[in-house]
Chain A
């Protein structure tokens, strides 16, 4: 087998790289014919790029795709999955015959790449997100691992209309990610028509340079030019590199190359053989190139269970906002494990992630006001178990990253998201800053654990539990200061609610969280003076919900349940409880929630105005008892 020479590959190597590109085209065409679906033309434009990347430029252990020292590759244009699979078949990691099972239910070679496959770090397919994840990997490589591995991200031109791509470009140059290479496969055509810039590659170049990147314009089908571009990129310091490759969609397929209306269409079966024969006729060698081994200099780390070495130090009588307790907990956690990293979107003095930054400045990543990118960067940081990542901002602003969060679940990520300033209780800033739908969003995310701690003690536990929990975690924190409810010795588990007020005479079960738990306790005090006892439950985790405790409490209180939440009605605690008791006879759930778009005002005024204050809980209890 020929080996590759870095700077100026010899003629034989170039021929083998070109031949490999042709074979990748053929595999892509065959696979998509077999599945009768897929995107062969999007694969064909990227064939030389993939060949040069995987058989010349990148350094990795071909039998250990997940190795920590390997160069990383993100296929941001995820619909070109068949050519990624074809590449790994050429490497030898996949059987060539398996390629024909593309998109079949029993085969992990799915329509778009997912981490069911060992060579896929983040799921892609929803466009515009790969570069952000690549930034996270590159940031981790440069600043946390301080290792030699490089990160490559292949993007389409159509997806470059996504703003998240430009957030990532800005981030990468700001942090001088010179170990990052983005390749734009500018094949001119999008899904339903032309991409806006078509083949004006100079405009792509100008834009990338304006964003602080080093750029090269290349003929994307010229293996020699690609080799040189990647080699030069590796010499550039302090700037990431964009390789803007002019290509043709459907390259190598007569009458289909550069033609519109072929996106996402397999080759017609009656033409496929002839097309394949034609491409095959251009293959001159039967050789494969061996990928180069990586430099082995990334540290071996172990992310195992992080223990809380000392209990929370809060005392009864303290008043502290859960958002602040969260910041303090992160700083404490950062001492417990050197791989805890925290990201924030320019809200660190509101979310109190600045407390972590103060103690561990080298592990804090300021992502500025670009939440979609922040979530993607967190995803990237957490891949291959390199970090335990927490990303913080106002809960309301996480909603703009819902697609990144959704894709994170498909990516089987373990990132932790902290959303502060939930609900109307933030007060004067008004509804644009109030998260009233975040529980709904995160409840719908598969394998996501949702913590909604109501005091500083439980907040600290939530942070530690999140760090140790697989799957995404969301911690919802509040702005106002609240009292301490739990002692330092209290133990907390996921899916375990706390009954914080109970007696044998309880008439109604009231379930509240965060601010509304405190309102429920105030209501309980008031009601007890009127001779009415209520049971008060703090769910602690909204997902999973402690259904057993809720049902047994409901049964012990005559089937009367009231839920009260600083959230809209839909998708929140009330609906979660209704669903949990939907098969139980004789349990009535009365839901208190915010029912319309709120407004600015004092926190206490807003709780009252929107029906979730102690006063309203008392009224609801009395109403429930009367009926």
Chain B
């Protein structure tokens, strides 16, 4: 295992919370799509879910004109990717089957939680398709919609970030109005606190159990008056 970088320090350090770090470099438009520029949102060129993707992101950022922002994590994560080709604006389908119940989009630590959720759900004969955006801006709208089409229109996003201006909102915006597609989002809903990383992921509703529960709750058509978020707050 090699350490992956995402600015995420749950148990101290200088209290750097990435939750709205993207909004910190809000809206810098006119910049060509590149890893990590995030206007106003994600700073990540993506959720670097493993060292391979991270290395590629650094290379891409070095070769990109204009501001790039790379967001990295503190916990150690497993290597997922082999020496694949990574491109700006190109998401990866990192898990799929012929009968996927929902598309789950995660990044960084939440991608790893998603894999763990997939294992839990597999035991219940529920398969999920897992997407890794790599670049949050530009977002691979086409792949997301294709995946949604193959998974009964159900999309679940999960991010180690506040609800606002995060992956969930980016995806919601990208798919708004597409018939039959609905987005459910998991994110951090309130100011967090100190604790062990795994405890905090659980407390703030973005761990494998929350993901699995959210997937189970998804249905093809949202019912009138149904609560939209599992483990999180409604967008204000």
Interface residues of A (CB under 8 A from B): 35, 37-39, 78-79, 103-105, 110-112, 114, 116, 125-127, 191, 264, 399, 402-403, 406, 409-410, 436-438, 440-441, 443-447, 495, 543-545, 547, 567-571, 574-576, 578-589, 591, 594-597
A585 pairs with B236, CB closer than 8 A = no
Task: State how many angstroms separate the Cβ of B230 from the closest Cβ of chain A.
Answer: 11
Q: Which residue in A103, A440, A578 is a CB contact (below 8 Å) of B26?
A: A440
Task: Collect the chain B residues with CB atoms within 8 Å of residue A447's CB.
Answer: 190-191
Interface of B with A (CB < 8 Å)? 11-17, 19-20, 22-24, 26-30, 38-41, 137, 162-165, 168-170, 172-173, 175-177, 179-180, 182-185, 190-191, 193-196, 199-200, 203, 221-222, 226, 228, 234-236
Q: A103-B195, A578-B172, A583-B226 are in contact. Are A571 and B12 (CB under 8 A)?
A: no
Q: List 21 A-B contacts (CB under 8 A).
A: A79-B14, A105-B195, A111-B15, A127-B14, A441-B40, A444-B162, A547-B234, A547-B235, A569-B27, A570-B40, A571-B26, A571-B169, A578-B172, A578-B173, A579-B168, A579-B172, A582-B176, A582-B228, A583-B228, A585-B221, A597-B29
Residues from chain A with Cβ under 8 Å of B12 in the complex? 37-39, 79, 103, 111-112, 264
Q: Which residues of B contact A584 (CB under 8 A)?
A: 182, 222
Q: Are B235 and A571 closer than 8 Å at their CB atoms?
A: no
The 8 Å CB contact of B194, one of A103, A126, A406, A440, is A103
The answer on a CB contact under 8 Å between B30 and A437 is no
Q: For residue B235, which residues in chain A have a CB less than 8 angstroms away from its CB?
A: 545, 547, 576, 579-580
Inter-chain pairs besides A543-B164, A586-B179, 15 sampled, C-beta below 8 Å: A112-B15, A112-B194, A125-B15, A437-B23, A437-B39, A543-B236, A570-B39, A570-B137, A571-B41, A571-B169, A576-B235, A582-B182, A583-B183, A584-B182, A585-B182
Q: Determine the chain B residues whose CB is within 8 A of the CB of A443 once the complex forms.
A: 23, 164-165
Complex Cα distance, B168 from A595, in Å, reads: 20
Min distance, Cβ A394 to any Cβ of chain B, angstroms: 15
Q: With contacts A440-B40, A571-B27 known, is A578 near B14, CB below 8 A?
A: no
Please name the 5 residue pairs, one residue from A and one from B, whose CB atoms are nearest each other, closest first.
A437-B26, A105-B195, A125-B15, A588-B177, A111-B12
Task: Report B-chain residues with C-beta under 8 Å of the C-beta of A580.
Answer: 235
Work out how many contacts link A and B, with CB atoms closer than 8 A: 177
B176 touches A440 (CB 8 A): no
Contact of B169 among A111, A547, A579 (CB under 8 A): A579
Give complex CA distance A469, B190 in Å.
18
A residues less than 8 Å from B24 (CB atoms): 402-403, 441
**Quick one: closest B residue to A406, CB to CB?**
B20
Contact B26 A441 (CB under 8 A): yes
A440 with B199: CB separation less than 8 A: no
Could you tell me the distance between the alpha carbons of A78 and B14 in the complex, rounded to whole angstroms?
8
Residue of A nearest to B193 (CB): A110
Contact (Cβ within 8 A) B179 A585: yes
Output the least CB separation between A562 and chain B (Å).
12
Q: Which of A125, A447, A544, A585 has the most CB of B within 10 A?
A: A585
Question: In the docked arrangement, what's the CA distance between A37 and B203, Å?
Answer: 20
Distance to closest chain A CB from B225 (angstroms):
11
A103 touching B190 by the CB < 8 A rule?
A: no
> What CA separation (Å) do A112 and B14 show in the bound complex?
8
Q: Is the CB of B196 within 8 A of A105?
A: yes
CB neighbours of B185 from chain A (8 A): 579, 582
**Contact indicator A545/B236 (Cβ below 8 Å):** yes
Give the Cβ gap from A111 to chain B, nearest Cβ, in Å: 3
- Our pick among B11, B173, B182, B193 for the contact of A583 (Cβ within 8 Å) is B182
- Docked pose: A191 CA to B13 CA in angstroms: 10
- Which partner residue on chain B sits nearest A591 by CB separation? B173
Q: What A residues does B40 contact at CB under 8 A?
A: 437, 440-441, 568, 570-571
Residue contact A446 to B162, C-beta cutoff 8 Å: yes
Query: A138–B16 Cα gap in the complex (Å)?
Result: 28
- C-alpha gap A585/B175 in the complex (Å): 11
A571 to B27, CA, bound (A): 8
User: Which residue of chain A has the shortest Cβ distance to B191 in the bound complex?
Assistant: A446
Per the bound structure, the CA–CA distance linking A110 and B199 in Å amounts to 14
Does B23 lie within 8 Å of A571, measured CB to CB? yes
In the complex, what's the smallest C-beta–C-beta distance from B121 to chain A, in angstroms?
Answer: 21
**Residues in B neighbouring A127, C-beta threshold 8 A:** 14
Instruction: Give, as a whole number of angstroms, the nearest-CB distance from A544 to chain B.
Output: 3
C-alpha spacing A297/B169, complex, angstroms: 51
Residues in A neighbouring B169, C-beta threshold 8 A: 571, 575-576, 578-579
Chain B nearest CB, measured from A105 CB (Å): 3
User: Would you call B14 and A568 a contact (CB within 8 A)?
Assistant: no
Best-surrounded residue of A545, A578, A595 (most CB of chain B within 10 A) = A578
Measured between C-beta atoms, what is the minimum distance from A607 to chain B in Å?
Answer: 17
- Residues of A contacting B165 with CB < 8 Å? 440, 443-444, 570-571, 575
